[in-house]
Structure 1
Amino acid sequence: MNRLIYESRDADLDKVVLDDIPGGSEAFELAAKFCYGIAVDLTAANISGLRCAAEYLEMTEDLEEGNLIFKTEAFLSYVVLSSWRDSIQVLKSCENLSPWAENLQIVRRCSESIAWKACANPKGIRWAYTGKPSKISSPRWNEMKDSSPSRNQQVPPDWWFEDVSILRIDHFVRVITAIKVKGMRFELIGAVTMHYAAKWLTGFIRDRTEPIDEGSNSSTWKGGLHMIVVGTKDDIPTVQSKDQRLIIESLISIIPPQKDSVSCSFLLRLLRMANMLKVAPALVTELEKRVGMQLEQATLQDLHIPSCSKSETMYDVDLVQRLLEHFLVQEQTESSSPSRNSFSDKHMYDGTPKGNVPNAKMRVAKLVDSYLTEVSRDRNLSMTKFQVLAEALPESARTCDDGLYRAIDSYLKAHPIISEHERKRLCRVMDCQKLSIDACMHAAQNERLPLRVVVQVLFSEQVKISNAIANSSLKEGGESQYQLMIPNRKTLLEGTPHSFQEGWAAAKKDINTLKFELESVRAKYLQLQNDMENLQRQFDKIAKPKQMSAWTSGWKKLSKLTKMTGLETNDTGSQVGNAEQTRKTPRRWRNSIS
């Protein structure tokens, strides 16, 4: 105080303003009482502010032994840091003391103390904590040191979740980071992350009928998040959009890298809010990769992520396409790796082997087919996006294409103006041989499908029926099975629309007409070829000189008469006369030549 007055160099100074003292007027009042010898009660509520104020006022041991800095440090070290709740309360009070509390290591020491206690064996915990069993009151809980707790009074492994969730996000991250260093199980780290999100992120707690940021025009999402409400409505903290963005970015950074540390549903809901609040693209990409690792655990409701960009579609189809690509990359990486990580023992109750790639792909294929059925109703969805998403998975991922057929039919119903060529291109993503009998029956009567697809469906079903009849004939009772199969085939053929039957008959008639025209053209081509050869011979006869030797002219006449004999045979059609002439002419020339 003396230095402040001296440095002001104001003779008429009657007031000293201390507007930057940490802890505010309450901390300064306690420090002043301490200077005048008035008893000051040190508590977890005022110790952090008083410690920072003592540092600001330079109340060190150089002036007097047992000064305020020494006393507050002793209270922090021996009282606060040994208590669970005091450490939480002091760390909470440090939120308004930055950067003093950080520079004085109060935040670090409290975080370390909380981390050590959180990692303690639950069987040895005797201190009070929020969320303890309701049957045990606080006084009796502290008296249970010598009594062994019964089964219904055992401390749960998540006993510390609620207490650390009251901290601000930066202090929460510090505590979780310290807990990770102590070796806490990644399942609990992921669980406390989800607990914190449910408490602080508004969208994770209740459905919303208005955008999160009322002043922002970019957020147009309405509702869709369902999680268990923690506490009462009065306990729900109000967080602005900017703070929620910081919370989401921090939570993404502390999620454990293990595959099943958090649920896929949580990741997708976090991704939904990250897109709405314009989180950093690098963190969004990292979150998409995490979702791709567990995409087989997602549900259809989780994939209903609204499009927050300038896209005209209601749902973000491009995002789902990227998630599917990350999933395929992850599956390919795991399949090439000798030691693969299964997604959890809790998912292996069905007795399937760990890391069964086809099963994961089949689950994702069913999910994608259901998603395509939902988004196909959007008239702004382009056929290219639909086709790319449908063809992203390999053919082995689908043993039955009923879901894909349902999506295609829904798209054709919502887009009736597309051309016939586009309909054929869209139907190429479906394998008619993988349709069930019910789907074939529906497709045979579906006038939205192209004629060629209907014919393929009927043909594939006929092949299936023929194979079934052939297999059943090798067994006993084959005749009865044959009788059961025939009505199905008749019903299938009779169920074909009349318009398709007429179209098929017209197509067969056109094919026969084309065949007849092709034969006519072929005959005309042969006739023209003969005429050209006759003209060529006449031209050669006129062009050749007449002065030739007897030997040469004899050979030319022989060749000419031989060819003319063959032509006369083809033109006249008299086989007997031509045969006699053919026999006589060579003999006459042979005599003359010899």
Structure 2
Amino acid sequence: MMEVCCNLEVDVNGEKIFMVDKKIVASYSGRLSKLFGKSKSTSRNLKLIFQDFPGGAEGFELILKFCYNNGNIKLNPSNVPLLYSAAQFMEMNSSFSGTQNLQERTEKYIEDISEWSWSELLNALKRCQDLSLSPSIVIEKCLDSLVGRLNLAVEANSCPSTSSPDSSALRLSCDTKSTESLKTGFSNGLWWFEELLIFTPDLVKMFVQFILERNFDEVVIGRFLIYYQKLKSSNATRDEKRKIVEVVVEMLYVLEHSSVSCKSLFSILRVALGLNIDKYIRNKLEKMIGARLDQGSLDNLLLPSPSGMNYLYDVNLVLRFVKAFLLEKTNRTSPMPLKRVARLMDLYMAEVAPDPCLKPSKFLALAKALPDFARSSHDDMYRAIDMYIEVHTEMSEEEKVKLCCALNYEKLSAETCINLSENIRFPSTSSIQALISEQLKLKTLLQTANSSSSITSLPCKLEEKLDFPEENEKLKAHIQGIQWRVMELEHVCKKIQTQMTKMMKSKVTNDSQLKSLPWLCS
């Protein structure tokens, strides 16, 4: 029988004070042996304070159990993580404890991790995170084994006899009653999504890093991260939600673009907007959304403005999305994504145009965010600008002119050109440009029609009737329609010329514009 005396007071992390036999504990611990081995003091008032003992009081109690039982303790997946960490901390290696080497014993037990069941792996990992144990060989070994079994599960998923996590072939002895329901609830071997909800964000981060090294399907990883963020955040505190979002975004960022949808990223963004997440992480989220902006919808973009701002929608955020998209566009071979984004921006401009608090400079930035070649037509942009000018009656003429400069008049349809020329809200210079553009297009159309219909001459007066062969009735109707539009343009042009003449009397106008009028309206 070992003689026991209490000659050492140990304060463990401020949680609990233990009275122990210094000689017994020091015989197994290199750390204590170095502290007290050479001490000749017989004082019974020795005190030792630990500030960062692994597992706190629970961990120290396990060490005492080992020491006071002559180095005997039953190891299991639940206590090994704590015993291993505590043994390392106390330096319980062969240098001091001979054959009764706790550190070596725990390491050997961990080496046999292939014998552990699926539930034992999860429980061991949960113990590590519950006790706030720093990343160690235990966590690494458990994660490596866990990922290896998931890989096997995916490979065997097509085979009913081995697709179960309880299968002996996969050594996934899941004891949880929920496994069967999870298998039926998740297709394609995704039953493990819910099982890993026990992980903290930091452990999820390590798990994803391990699983990426195994070349796991990144689409599945993306789905897991989205699932984790949604489910784990449902009952979390604000700080916990922020940590979850930051880790999920950071992990999604390293995946291929096709691994996660734009819709899923926007759902994360809406959560992140109210959590004040780290700016560096938010930038990553915005870049990911921008790279997939062509997959987005108008509803996705209608995000409320930041707190303290009086305008309705976060226009600056959308501009950052477009910038990120254009930076990514260099890797695209198809022009279709750019055209889809242009269409999306036209819809967005029309939606935000009625906002009375949206400044002209911001609206202009939206209009000029994409290069001209992104749009084959500027009709929708014209309508959005018209709506904006109509609402913002306080705009100066200079501000209107700047907005109109964003339009490419050559990409306006004939109907839009006519509408613009009669639109009193637009600057007169814009009307003239629209007329010039439309007349040039009409003349080109007439010349094309002339050359293709064997007509030898075109009368000077457009209203004069032309004689077409019977088989060219469709072409005849088309050209007659063009002639009527030209006549309508001439009528509008005369009105503008009259208005300009009146303006001459009160204000000097640009000579170059006036000189072009006789040609334009002749």
TM range (shorter): 0.5 to 0.7
The alpha carbon displacement at 1:171 in A equals 1.1
The alpha carbon displacement at 1:480 in A equals 4.9
Q: Which residue of structure 2 aligns with residue 164 of structure 1? A: 196
Q: Which residue of structure 2 aligns with residue 405 of structure 1? A: 382
- What value does the CA root-mean-square deviation take over the aligned residues? 4.9
Q: In 2, distance between residues paired with 1:154 and 1:253?
A: 22
Superposed counterparts of 1:167-566, under 5 Å: 167-200=199-232, 202=233, 236-241=234-239, 244-245=242-243, 247-249=245-247, 251-252=249-250, 255-256=253-254, 258-271=256-269, 273-274=271-272, 276-308=274-306, 311-332=309-330, 334=331, 355-356=333-334, 358-440=335-417, 442-443=419-420, 446-473=423-450, 474=453, 477-483=471-477, 486=480, 490=484, 504-508=497-501
The alpha carbon displacement at 1:168 in A equals 0.7
The alpha carbon displacement at 1:26 in A equals 6.2
Q: Which residue of structure 1 aligns with residue 458 of structure 2? A: none
Greater CA drift, 245-254 or 161-170: 245-254
In the superposition, relative to structure 1, how do residues 393 and 254 fare at CA in structure 2: closer, same or farther (>3 Å)?
closer
Q: In 1, distance between residues paired with 2:309 and 2:392?
A: 18
Q: In 2, distance between residues paired with 1:307 and 1:451?
A: 35
Match for 1:375: what amino acid? V
Q: In 1, distance between residues paired with 2:121 and 2:98?
A: 29
The alpha carbon displacement at 1:399 in A equals 0.5
In the superposition, relative to structure 1, how do residues 188 and 74 fare at CA in structure 2: closer, same or farther (>3 Å)?
same
Deviations along 1:68-105, whole A, 9 cap, x unmatched?
66665555443576433322221122113234x53x52
Q: Normalising by the residue count of structure 2, what TM-score does the alignment of the two structures yield?
A: 0.67
In the superposition, relative to structure 1, how do residues 247 and 289 fare at CA in structure 2: closer, same or farther (>3 Å)?
closer
Selected match of 1:120 from 149, 152, 170:
152
CA contact (8 A) 2:418 2:434 kept: no
CA contact (8 A) 1:31 1:68 kept: no
CA contact (8 A) 2:305 2:313 kept: yes
Q: In 2, distance between residues paired with 1:450 and 1:185?
A: 57
Q: Unaligned regions of 5+ residues in structure 1, if any?
A: 131-136, 145-151, 203-235, 335-341, 343-354, 519-594
User: Secondary structure, in 3 states, of the residue corresponding to 1:117?
Assistant: helix
User: Secondary structure, in 3 states, of the residue corresponding to 1:119?
Assistant: helix
Deviations along 1:111-165, whole A, 9 cap, x unmatched?
22223223336233647549xxxxxx989x9xx9xxxxxxx99972545433334
Q: In 2, distance between residues paired with 1:194 and 1:60?
A: 44
**Paired residues, number:** 445
CA contact (8 A) 2:409 2:437 kept: yes
The alpha carbon displacement at 1:48 in A equals 3.3
Q: In 2, distance between residues paired with 1:501 and 1:120?
A: 80
Q: In 2, distance between residues paired with 1:282 and 1:30?
A: 42
In the superposition, relative to structure 1, how do residues 378 and 153 fare at CA in structure 2: closer, same or farther (>3 Å)?
closer
The alpha carbon displacement at 1:404 in A equals 0.8
Deviations along 1:298-336, whole A, 9 cap, x unmatched?
32222233333765433232232233233323334x3xx
Q: Normalising by the residue count of structure 1, what TM-score does the alignment of the two structures yield?
A: 0.60
CA contact (8 A) 1:60 1:70 kept: yes
Q: Does structure 1 residue 97 correspond to structure 2 residue 131?
A: yes
Selected match of 1:48 from 81, 100, 103:
81
Identity %: 28
User: Secondary structure, in 3 states, of the residue corresponding to 2:323?
Assistant: helix
The alpha carbon displacement at 1:467 in A equals 4.0
In the superposition, relative to structure 1, how do residues 442 and 86 fare at CA in structure 2: closer, same or farther (>3 Å)?
farther
CA contact (8 A) 1:165 1:195 kept: no
Q: In 2, distance between residues paired with 1:128 and 1:31?
A: 38
Superposed counterparts of 1:29-40, under 5 Å: none
The alpha carbon displacement at 1:30 in A equals 6.7
CA contact (8 A) 2:390 2:425 kept: yes
Deviations along 1:51-84, whole A, 9 cap, x unmatched?
5566677777766866766665555443576433
Match for 2:402: what amino acid? R
Q: Unaligned regions of 5+ residues in structure 2, if any?
A: 1-5, 10-19, 23-35, 167-172, 454-468, 512-522
Q: Does structure 1 residue 110 correspond to structure 2 residue 142?
A: yes
Q: In 2, distance between residues paired with 1:371 and 1:425?
A: 19
Q: Which residue of structure 2 aligns with residue 87 of structure 1? A: 121
Match for 1:94: what amino acid? C
Q: In 1, distance between residues paired with 2:337 and 2:115?
A: 48
The alpha carbon displacement at 1:398 in A equals 0.9
Deviations along 1:220-240, whole A, 9 cap, x unmatched?
xxxxxxxxxxxxxxxx33132
The alpha carbon displacement at 1:269 in A equals 4.5
Match for 1:416: what amino acid? T
In the superposition, relative to structure 1, how do residues 309 and 2 fare at CA in structure 2: closer, same or farther (>3 Å)?
same
User: Secondary structure, in 3 states, of the residue corresponding to 2:299?
Assistant: coil
CA contact (8 A) 1:289 1:323 kept: yes
CA contact (8 A) 1:189 1:255 kept: no
Match for 1:166: what amino acid? I
CA contact (8 A) 2:218 2:259 kept: yes
Q: In 1, distance between residues paired with 2:118 and 2:223?
A: 20
Q: In 2, distance between residues paired with 1:463 and 1:479?
A: 24
In the superposition, relative to structure 1, how do residues 199 and 388 fare at CA in structure 2: closer, same or farther (>3 Å)?
same
In the superposition, relative to structure 1, how do residues 502 and 444 fare at CA in structure 2: closer, same or farther (>3 Å)?
closer
Match for 1:419: what amino acid? S
Q: In 1, distance between residues paired with 2:402 and 2:105?
A: 81
Match for 1:179: what amino acid? I
Match for 2:228: what amino acid? Y
In the superposition, relative to structure 1, how do residues 319 and 495 fare at CA in structure 2: closer, same or farther (>3 Å)?
same
